[in-house]
């Protein structure tokens, strides 16, 4: 029998793999010290149980129907109350900070950054967003900060979390191809996300998480100072424009985006992850990318 007993290090590795599996599946916090056998419990909930949490909505890109992610608050609006059932259980300061306090703290800190490097350092130290405790890496940006075009996605996935850069997985490969088709690459474009940490299990970031991260991405845009912002998908578009429309309504549209000293153009288009699921929609994205090329060339 002892032949088959795992050595302590094997047992540790098994335990870590088991925990990783649960984090991957979206379990972002331990609820109790001991496991519970829910099957042996009576139907009536124990008095100490919290109200059940609602699952967050699926991302707009996961559906052909334009799903207005109305949970993303428009710029300037107050974040939802702390008691919202969508708020995940969290660690560290993120556990105690009220979402609006965390968002105003984020705004104050983001404003302090005088350069992208400084912003990245401030973000790396920022502990009021629960996502940083489940993510492996901060995913700040890739590409050329001097570029005229800045692409923004929603949030990193597993590949980006592992590597620490945005758009590294299959969506990233498609984005690279789309950029290449109009003569862009990561030396001539800058790429970021609305939320710089991977939500566990690739769930949608909650409205609170978006509200807390938004000051940082807004400061990142100010520091890059691009001529054209390209929002990939509904969450990025809705967060930066305040529009509640689904991406199939907003794609191809140009929105004004205010920088401190000027107004630039924001183009909404489809997220590459959506195009991987709905390749037939690539023709629409192609139209948007041609419009982007014309904008870059000053012909639009």
Q: Which residue is nearest to ligand URA (CB)?
A: 153
Half-sphere exposure of 240 (CA within 13 A, CB side): 37
State the nearest-atom distance from the C-beta of 170 to ligand URA, in Å.
Answer: 9
> Are 75 and 237 spatial neighbours (Cβ–Cβ below 8 Å)?
no
Nearer Cβ to ligand URA (138/155): 155
**Of 198 and 219, CB closest to ligand URA:** 198
Phi, psi of 159 (to 5 degrees): -65, -45
Instruction: Report the residue number, 97 or 233, with the smaller CB distance to ligand URA.
Output: 233
CB of 166 to ligand URA, least distance (A): 4
Nearer to ligand URA, 88 or 156 (CB): 156
Q: What is the CA radius of gyration of the chain?
A: 21
CA-to-CA separations, 214 to 32, 119, 272, in angstroms, rounded: 32, 13, 22
**Separation of alpha carbons 179 and 191, rounded Å:** 11
* Residue with Cβ nearer ligand URA (14 or 185): 185
What is the distance between the terminal CA atoms of the chain, rounded to a whole angstrom?
75
Smallest distance from ligand URA to CB 169, Å: 6
Smallest distance, ligand URA to C-beta of residue 26, A = 17
Nearer to ligand URA, 155 or 210 (CB): 155
Nearer to ligand URA, 134 or 193 (CB): 193
d(CA 198, CA 202): 7
Please say whether the beta carbons of 160 and 270 come within 8 A.
Answer: no
User: Helical H runs in 140-233?
Assistant: 158-163, 170-181, 207-224
> Smallest distance, Å, CB 299 to ligand URA?
29
Strand ranges of the sheet holding 263-269, from the earlier edge strand across to the other edge? 142-143, 189-193, 149-153, 228-232, 263-269, 254-258
- Measured torsion, CA atoms of residues 268, 273, 276, 279, in degrees rounded to the nearest 10: -20
| Nearer residue to ligand URA within complex by CB, 97 or 198 | 198
Query: Least distance (Å) from ligand URA to the CB of residue 132?
Result: 16
Phi, psi of 231 (to 5 degrees): -90, 125
Give the nearest distance from C-beta 15 to ligand URA in angstroms. 29
Interface residues with ligand URA (CB under 6 A) are: 153-157, 160, 166-167, 171, 193, 273
Q: What is the sign of the dihedral through the CA atoms of 281, 287, 288 and 289?
A: positive
Name the minimum Å distance from CB 236 to ligand URA. Answer: 7
């Amino acid at each position: 029998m002892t032949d088959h007993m795992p050595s302590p290090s094997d047992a540790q590795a098994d335990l870590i793999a088991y925990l990783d599996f649960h984090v991957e599946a979206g379990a972002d916090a331990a609820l109790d010290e001991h496991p519970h056998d829910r099957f042996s419990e009576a139907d009536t909930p124990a008095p100490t149980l919290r109200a059940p949490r609602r699952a967050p909505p699926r991302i707009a890109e996961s559906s052909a129907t334009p799903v207005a992610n109305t949970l993303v608050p428009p710029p300037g609006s107050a974040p939802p109350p702390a008691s919202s059932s969508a708020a995940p259980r969290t660690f560290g300061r993120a556990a105690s900070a009220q979402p609006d306090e965390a968002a105003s703290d984020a705004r104050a800190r983001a404003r302090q950054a005088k350069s992208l490097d400084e912003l990245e350092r401030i973000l790396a130290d920022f502990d009021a967003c629960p996502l940083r405790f489940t993510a492996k890496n901060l995913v700040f940006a890739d590409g050329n900060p001097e570029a005229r075009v800045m692409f923004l996605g929603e949030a990193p996935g597993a590949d980006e979390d592992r590597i620490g850069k945005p758009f590294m997985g299959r969506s990233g490969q498609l984005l690279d191809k789309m950029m290449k088709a109009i003569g862009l690459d990561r030396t001539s474009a800058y790429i970021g996300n609305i939320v710089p940490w991977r939500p566990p299990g690739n769930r949608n970031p909650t409205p609170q998480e978006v509200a807390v991260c938004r000051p940082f991405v807004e400061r990142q845009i100010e520091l890059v100072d691009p001529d054209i912002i390209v929002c990939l998908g509904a969450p990025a578009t809705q967060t930066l424009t305040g529009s509640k429309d689904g991406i199939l309504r907003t794609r191809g549209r140009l929105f004004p985006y205010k920088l401190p000293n000027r107004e630039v153009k924001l183009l909404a288009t489809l997220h590459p992850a959506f195009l991987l699921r709905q390749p037939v929609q690539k023709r629409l994205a192609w139209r948007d990318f041609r419009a982007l090329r014309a904008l870059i060339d000053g012909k639009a």
